[in-house]
Structure formats: C-alpha cells, structure tokens
C-alpha cells in the first residue's frame, strides 16, 4: 500500500497533477485512514477472535470541481487488497431500498438489519461520492443504516458539496434526521476543501461545448470530452422522484451522459428535471433533433429541461441537428423557444457555471 500523499507527489512530478494547497491539506486525513486500515486485528480476550480497530472516517466537502472525487478515487485504488468499495451515494441507497424490499417480501420484520449486515461483511471501507439527501425515504433510514455500519467496524469516507449541517435542509420531518448529522461529526473528520480552482471548469475553458450538425467528428469530440471529464468507467444513476425512478444511462464524478430521447422522449416532468439538475454538475446531451409540431411534446420537455439546467447553472455539452436559433423554426411553440435558444447560447460561454 502506498500512501496517498506519496502518490500525489508522484503524479505532480509526472506532470499529471498541479500542486494545490487545498488538496494537499486533506492528504494527512487519507494517510491516517490508510494506516488504521492496514493495522492488524486486535484480540481482546482469550476466547474472542481478533477484530480490527474502528478507524474514523472522513467527510470531505466543498465546491464542485475541486478534486474531491479525484482524491477519493486515488485513495481507494491505493488500498490494495483491503476490501473496499467506491459507489455513488444515491446508487448505494437504491441498492439498500431494493434489499429491504426483498427482505420484507420474505417476511423479515427489521428489513434494514440484513441489508446493513451484508454490506458490513463485504467491505472494511465504503467510499461515497456526492452525499446528498433530498428524499425522505433515504432520510428516515440513513441514520440507522450508518449506525449499523459503524458498529460493525466499517470506515466511511464521502465527498459532498454541502457541510453536514446543510444535509436534508428544510426536509420533511428534518428533526428526525438531525441525529444522523451528529453521527457524522462523531464518526468522521469533517474537512472543507477550499480551493479557488474549479478543475472541471478549467478543462472546459475555451473548449467547444455545442456541436452541430451531428456528424462523425461531433460524436468523436463529444466522446473525448466525456472520457476526460468522467475520468473512468461510468454507471447508470437512478433517482427516485415522488415514488418514480428517473435513470441517467451514464454517470460518474458529477458528470452525466444521455441522449435527447433518454431525457425528452420519455414522460418526464419539471420535478424530474429539477432532480437531475440538482444531482448533475455537467450534462453531456447527445442527438438533439430539429423540433417542430411533429415532436411538440418532446420539444416542451426539452424547454423544461434547459430551464432546470440553466437555473441550477449546470454545465451543458451537447450535439444537435442545428444551431440553437435554427432548432425550432416552425409550428406552435417557436416563439417560446426563443428564450431557450438564447439560454443555449449563454450556456456556451466559457465562464458558464463557474461559482461566483
């Protein structure tokens, strides 16, 4: 096992990373966790089996694009044969809900217990990307779930854009959620990554982000941007919105990739697009067609999607059949689309989406 601080210096020497004091400040936390995880199990009684010591985790929060996920990924990759798992927080919670449903189907009264036990038996470290809690079904079980994981000796590290006290802010029955915030502070070091550099935006500065028409060259450029921003293998991300599931086909490190049909060809509404905009920092949207009376419903959904992305200042990279002003030139809705075309132009600006 190589400590993250050593790997970080190696990548700087190789020109793969640039020195960043904010990133360097968090490295001792990762090194501490690595030391704890590699320690041998301790036997506390003659008739008791040796057990690993509990290792305090890490809650790493700060603005988007600061390198939180990159550092966490490097850390997990450095752990060698220590059982660990890196997973997006929402994807993990969906798995837990599925396991609980199956347990209830089998007549298990406390459906959360076997789900937590299965996780604890498979890993010593859980690494969550993008902890954010907006759904009441997650909020009501996450405290008990994490209590069980910590009690079983699982170490948790997570990235988030929010300080713990802001989690599930203004949520329904939030007073029942507050003990979970206390649990985070007790079991995890809370560290804010304060950096003036948004690396995700920096990689897009000056880059083309709107490609028209959709041809082989446009597809190749979109593919290259996706590979650069996602930084590794992606997985589908399923969001639960008012009891329904909304799925993004590919997601990693806050970057999502979908086709026009995936998001506008299905019966999605404003709430779905708001949930997507809240979860995604960069959206790669492909194959936007020309819009007309023949695909009026899809066009309306596209307008709603762009409004949600615009208000949330999500970075948009897309391929389309035509430039924004020429996407919707005839039929009902063309006048209303002028605002959307204007927003699509504005969202191409090199500084779009940067925090002020």
What's the Rg (C-alpha) of the chain?
Answer: 22
- The tokens describing 90, both together, are 């929402």
Contact by Cβ (8 Å): 259, 286: yes
Quick check: is 33 in a domain? yes
Based on the fold, state whether residues 169 and 25 are members of the same structural domain. yes
For residue 14, what is the DSSP state?
Answer: T
Point out the least confidently predicted range of 141-145, 167-171, 213-217: 167-171
Q: For residue 60, what pLDDT band results from cuts at 50, 70 and 90?
A: very high
Give dist(CA 319, CA 146) in Å, integer: 42
Residues 245-266 have pLDDT tens digits of: 899 999 988 899 999 999 999 9
Picking from 151, 170, 192, the residue at the C-terminal end of a domain is 192
The stretch 141-146 carries a mean pLDDT of 96
First to last CA, the chain: 39
Phi, psi of 241 (to 5 degrees): -125, 110
Quick check: is 353 in a domain? no
Give dist(CA 199, CA 196) in Å, integer: 10
Based on the fold, state whether residues 62 and 151 are members of the same structural domain. yes
Counting DSSP H helices and E strands in the chain, the numbers are 13, 11
Question: Does the pTM of the predicted model rise above 0.75?
Answer: no
Contacts 24+ apart (CB under 8 A), 306-312: 306/340, 306/343, 306/344, 306/347, 307/273, 307/340, 307/343, 308/270, 308/273, 308/274, 308/276, 308/277, 309/273, 309/277, 309/283, 309/347, 310/343, 310/346, 310/347, 311/277, 312/274, 312/277, 312/278
What pLDDT score was predicted for residue 62? 87
What pLDDT score was predicted for residue 63? 76
Based on the fold, state whether residues 66 and 162 are members of the same structural domain. yes
Based on the fold, state whether residues 168 and 32 are members of the same structural domain. yes
* Number of independent structural domains in the chain: 2
Domain encompassing residue 261? 199-346
With a cut of 50, say whether residue 296 has pLDDT above it. Answer: yes
Picking from 136, 163, 192, the residue at the C-terminal end of a domain is 192
Q: Who contacts 119 (Cβ-Cβ below 8 Å, separation ≥6)?
A: 96, 126, 149, 154
- The tokens describing 31, both together, are 């090194």
Q: Is the dihedral of CA 37, 38, 39, 41 positive or negative?
A: positive
Quick check: is 355 in a domain? no
- Minimal CA–CA distance to 249: which of 262, 260, 239? 262
Beta strands in 227-336 (DSSP E): 235-241, 244-252, 255-259, 282-288, 315-320
């Amino acid at each position: 096992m190589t400590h993250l601080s050593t790997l970080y210096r190696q990548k700087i020497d190789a020109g793969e990373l640039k020195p960043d004091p904010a990133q360097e400040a968090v490295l001792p936390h990762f090194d501490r966790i690595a030391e704890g995880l590699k320690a041998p199990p301790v036997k506390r009684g003659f008739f008791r089996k040796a057990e690993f010591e509990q290792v305090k985790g890490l809650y790493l929060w700060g603005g988007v694009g600061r390198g939180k996920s990159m550092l966490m990924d490097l850390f997990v990759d450095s752990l060698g044969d220590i059982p660990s798992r890196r997973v997006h927080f929402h994807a993990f919670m969906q798995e837990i809900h599925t396991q609980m449903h199956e347990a209830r189907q089998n007549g298990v009264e406390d459906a959360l217990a076997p789900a937590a036990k299965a996780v604890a038996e498979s890993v010593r470290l859980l690494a969550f990307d993008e902890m954010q809690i907006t759904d009441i079904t997650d909020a009501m079980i996450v405290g008990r779930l994490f209590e069980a994981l910590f009690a079983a000796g699982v170490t948790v590290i997570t990235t988030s854009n929010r300080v713990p006290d802001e989690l599930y802010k203004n949520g329904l029955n939030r007073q029942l959620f507050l003990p979970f915030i206390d649990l985070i502070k007790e079991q995890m070091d809370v560290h804010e990554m304060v950096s003036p550099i948004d690396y995700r935006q920096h990689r897009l500065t000056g880059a083309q982000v709107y490609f028209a028409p959709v041809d082989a060259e446009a597809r190749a450029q979109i593919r290259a941007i996706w590979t650069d921003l996602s930084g590794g293998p992606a997985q589908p991300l399923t969001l639960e919105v008012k009891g329904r599931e909304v799925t993004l086909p590919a997601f990693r490190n806050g970057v999502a990739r979908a086709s026009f049909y995936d998001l506008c060809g299905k019966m999605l509404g404003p709430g779905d697009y708001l949930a997507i905009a809240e979860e995604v920092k960069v959206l790669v949207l492909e194959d936007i067609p020309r819009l007309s009376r023949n695909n009026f419903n899809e066009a309306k959904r596209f307008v709603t999607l762009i409004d949600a992305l615009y208000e949330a200042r999500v970075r948009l990279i897309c391929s389309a059949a035509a430039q924004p002003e020429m996407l919707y030139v005839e039929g009902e809705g063309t006048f209303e689309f002028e605002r959307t075309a204007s927003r699509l132009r504005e969202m191409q600006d090199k500084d779009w989406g940067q925090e002020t």
